[in-house]
Amino acid sequence: MLSRTEIERLAQAAHALRPDWPIKSLCTWLMADHASRAYRDVAVALAYIATDTATVTPKRMNEMGPWWSAVKLAGSDATALHFARCEEPGHGSYPAHNCGACRAEDLEADTATAPPATPDPARAEVSTRGADLARAAIAAARGQEKS
């Protein structure tokens, strides 16, 4: 979580690298879109984007791009980046903190919880008893019909 002072320092740093980016706009944008991130993470991504010749506005940092890879390489300070993706092979489309593919694999690999046996022997006994009772009742009814 960025403090107001950290946001102002980051905005000033980006403005120093890109004088055409106004400090006030940078502050507003950082507060709105990146205040939940770690100070160093934003500093790394912002330095990348500000010195990138293909970048026109700082808002490009909101997209996925090599600036976030740079953050990752630098060793992210964040506890839970909502942009971070699962690092397992083939899981890149899932967020790191909530990977559906990892959950599915965990369920698949979970042999401790055996699937329920079908039919459940205890229930099979009950249903056999029930069927016997039904047969007996039907036979009794037929017996009454015959007499």
Q: Which amino acid is at 94?
A: Y
Identify the burial level of 26 via C-beta atoms within 10 angstroms of its C-beta, where 0-12 means exposed, 13-18 middle and 19 or more buried. buried
- Both ends of the chain: CA-CA distance in Å? 88
Min CB(90)–Zn ion separation in Å: 8
- Is 102 a binder of Zn ion (CB under 5 A)? yes
Question: What is the DSSP annotation of 51-119?
Answer: T-TT--SGGGGGS-SHHHHHHHHT----S--TT-B--STT-TTSBTTS-HHHHHHHHHH--SSPPPPSS
Site membership for Zn ion, residue 101 (CB under 5 A): yes
91 lies in the binding site for Zn ion (CB under 5 A): yes
> Please, what sign has the CA dihedral across residues 52, 70, 86, 28?
negative
- The residue whose two tokens read 């909101």 is 62
C-beta closer to Zn ion: residue 39 or 83? 83
- Region of 21-29, 52-60, 90-98, 115-123 interacting with Zn ion (CB under 5 A): 90-98
Under rule CB under 5 A, residue 99 binds Zn ion: yes
In the complex with Zn ion, the residue whose CB is nearer, 19 or 89, is 89
Q: How far is the CB of 85 from Zn ion (least distance, A)?
A: 9
Q: Nearer Cβ to Zn ion, position 9 or 72? A: 72
Decide: is 86 part of the binding site for Zn ion (CB under 5 A): yes
Any contact of residue 35 with Zn ion (CB under 5 A)?
A: no
Q: Which residues bind Zn ion (CB under 5 A)?
A: 86, 88, 91, 99, 101-102
